[in-house]
């Protein structure tokens, strides 16, 4: 069934018998109950007050449910980041460099109509309308950790399907070894473009085998709804084993290439941001350690930093992609 959406105006499939929002709200309630039981009265009262303060819920955007993913490692049972935090603490430099800039300015981005152009070494190049991308494969819900290179992380229920599905559809040629992702750069809609921090448009890249890994998610929604603008509407990547900046937002073009593309962050500071950018607690950023992280929403009374995990905890799934590579050199 196709439903006309309120906010973005595009059509998307909607399945009446899957209610991921209800499912994860139940999960949250359960976790809250467990936490309160274990910690005793005072802490329970504090937690309850905290819960009331965080009443912001999704519900403003068009629903985009996804069936629970069967891909190995795709659903962590960790506590979800509050929707309010996930939509108000963002990196989307096209709208400014402060964490609240995207939430304040991203409504100016025009996401209708939207299409993604497929270029380069494929048998089926051309322009794919968002409507067709949405119908390409059934939507799945993936609960991924996202670890920013700045040292914070979130746990977000994303909605989409494996990027591999789109790649197969456009039939890459044997010579295609890399993908480049180009994102929207519109001066009138994006006040952040006035700043020269990045050589716009923001671009990113993956090696073909990374892009084909089932965990690499072509993402259209989060928390059971279409993506809010500040999180990269209407279509972005989420590559959970890499630092967050590899997960390009608001993608307009995908190029299939023989050579590795330069990436926006690599051009801006090559010694700090390499092509791979796999989460790696053993390789420090030149200006700070990457050994620990702050989980957004946990910066309360008893905050302890978390240990950052190799490949952000997805080593069992993706480790073999890098067998034999020197991960200090290939940072
Ligand atoms: N086009 C674009 N994509 C982007 C960015 C950006 O500035 N522009 N920032 C990246 C960074 S640094 C991070 S941590 C994630 C943040 O995604 P989120 O705001 O949905 O949590 O988006 C990534 N994708
Ligand atoms: Mo980031």
pLDDT exceeds 90 at position 313: yes
pLDDT exceeds 70 at position 1: no
Q: Residue 143 phi/psi, 5° resolution? A: -95, 100
Q: Whose CA is nearest to atom 2 of ligand 1?
A: 249
Under a CB-based contact definition with an 8 Å cutoff, are residues 249 and 232 in contact?
yes
Helix, strand, coil percent content, the chain, rounded in steps of 5:
30, 25, 45
Strands 178-183 and 152-162: unpaired
Residues 113-147 pLDDT 10s: 999 999 999 999 999 999 999 999 999 999 999 99
The Å distance, Cα 237 to ligand 1 centre, comes to 10
Under a CB-based contact definition with an 8 Å cutoff, are residues 165 and 83 in contact?
no
Residues 198-246 pLDDT 10s: 999 999 999 999 999 999 999 999 999 999 999 999 999 999 999 999 9
Q: What is the mean pLDDT of residues 273-295?
A: 98
pLDDT exceeds 80 at position 191: yes
Judge residue 159's burial from the number of C-beta atoms within 10 Å of its C-beta, 0-12 exposed, 13-18 middle, 19 or more buried: buried
pLDDT exceeds 60 at position 3: no
Worst-scoring range by mean pLDDT, 8-17, 245-254, 255-264, 314-323? Answer: 8-17
pLDDT exceeds 90 at position 160: yes
The Å distance, Cα 37 to ligand 2 centre, comes to 35
pLDDT at 59: 86
CATH label, 18-322, candidates 3.90.420.10, 3.40.190.10, 3.40.50.300, 3.40.462.40: 3.90.420.10
Please report the atom of ligand 1 found closest to the CA of residue 249: 3
**Residues with beta carbon inside 6 Å of ligand 1?**
90-94, 146, 148, 154, 183, 202, 231-232, 244-245, 247-250
pLDDT exceeds 80 at position 185: yes
pLDDT at 299: 76
pLDDT at 80: 97
Please report the atom of ligand 1 found closest to the CA of residue 91: 9
CA 52 to chain centre: 27
The Å distance, Cα 249 to ligand 1 centre, comes to 6
Counting residues of the chain whose pLDDT is more than 70, the rounded percentage is 83
Worst-scoring range by mean pLDDT, 48-52, 72-76, 89-93, 192-196? Answer: 48-52
The Å distance, Cα 328 to ligand 2 centre, comes to 20
**Confidence class for position 12, pLDDT limits 50, 70, 90:** very low
Under a CB-based contact definition with an 8 Å cutoff, are residues 265 and 275 in contact?
no
pLDDT at 25: 52
Ligand nearest to the CA of 246: 1
**Confidence class for position 57, pLDDT limits 50, 70, 90:** low
Q: What is the average pLDDT score of the chain?
A: 88
pLDDT exceeds 80 at position 39: no
Dihedral (Cα; 238, 239, 243, 245), 10-degree rounding: -50
Q: Tell me how far apart the alpha carbons of residues 217 and 213 are, in angstroms, rounded to a whole number.
A: 9
Ligand nearest to the CA of 91: 1
**Confidence class for position 263, pLDDT limits 50, 70, 90:** very high
Under a CB-based contact definition with an 8 Å cutoff, are residues 237 and 202 in contact?
no
Please report the atom of ligand 1 found closest to the CA of residue 192: 7
Q: What is the mean pLDDT of residues 54-58?
A: 54
Q: What is the mean pLDDT of residues 281-298?
A: 97
Please tell me what DSSP assigns to residue 83: H
Q: Tell me how far apart the alpha carbons of residues 313 and 144 are, in angstroms, rounded to a whole number.
A: 10
Residues 6+ apart with CB under 8 A from 17: none
Angle at 104 between CA 98 and CA 107, to 5 degrees: 130
The Å distance, Cα 33 to ligand 1 centre, comes to 33
Please report the atom of ligand 1 found closest to the CA of residue 90: 19
pLDDT exceeds 70 at position 56: no
126 or 26: which leads in pLDDT: 126
pLDDT exceeds 90 at position 5: no
pTM for the predicted model, two decimal places:
0.85
The Å distance, Cα 286 to ligand 1 centre, comes to 20
Residues 61-92 pLDDT 10s: 999 999 999 999 999 999 999 999 999 999 99
DSSP secondary structure string, 167-185?
Answer: HHHH-B-TT--EEEEEE--
Under a CB-based contact definition with an 8 Å cutoff, are residues 31 and 81 in contact?
no
């Amino acid at each position: 069934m196709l439903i006309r959406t309120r906010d973005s105006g595009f059509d998307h499939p909607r399945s009446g018998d899957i209610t991921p929002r209800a499912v994860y709200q139940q999960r949250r309630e359960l976790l809250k109950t467990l936490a309160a039981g274990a910690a005793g009265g005072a802490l329970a009262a504090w937690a309850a007050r905290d819960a009331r303060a965080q009443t912001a819920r999704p519900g403003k955007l068009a629903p985009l449910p996804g069936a629970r993913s069967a891909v190995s490692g795709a659903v962590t049972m960790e506590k979800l980041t509050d929707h309010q935090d996930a939509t108000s603490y963002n990196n989307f430099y096209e709208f400014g460099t402060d964490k609240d800039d995207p939430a304040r300015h991203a409504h100016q981005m025009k996401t209708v109509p939207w299409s993604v152009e497929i270029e380069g070494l494929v048998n089926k190049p051309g322009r794919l309308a968002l409507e067709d991308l949405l119908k390409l494969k059934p939507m799945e819900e993936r609960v991924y950790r996202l670890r920013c290179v700045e040292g914070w992380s979130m746990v977000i229920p994303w909605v989409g399907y494996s990027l591999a599905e789109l790649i197969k559809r456009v039939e890459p040629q044997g010579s295609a070894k890399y993908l480049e992702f180009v994102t929207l750069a519109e001066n009138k809609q994006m006040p952040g473009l006035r700043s020269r921090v990045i050589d716009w448009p923001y671009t990113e890249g993956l090696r073909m085998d990374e892009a084909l890994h089932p965990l690499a998610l072509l993402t259209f929604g989060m928390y059971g709804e279409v993506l809010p603008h500040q999180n990269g509407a209407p279509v972005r990547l989420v590559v959970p084993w890499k630092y967050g900046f590899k997960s390009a937002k608001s993608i307009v073009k995908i190029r299939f290439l023989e050579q590795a593309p330069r990436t926006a962050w690599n051009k801006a500071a090559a010694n700090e941001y390499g092509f791979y950018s796999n989460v790696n607690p053993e390789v420090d950023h030149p200006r700070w350690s990457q050994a620990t992280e702050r989980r957004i929403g946990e910066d309360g009374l008893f905050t302890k930093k978390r240990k950052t995990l190799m490949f952000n905890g997805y080593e069992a799934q993706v480790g073999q992609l890098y067998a034999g590579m020197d991960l200090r050199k290939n940072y």
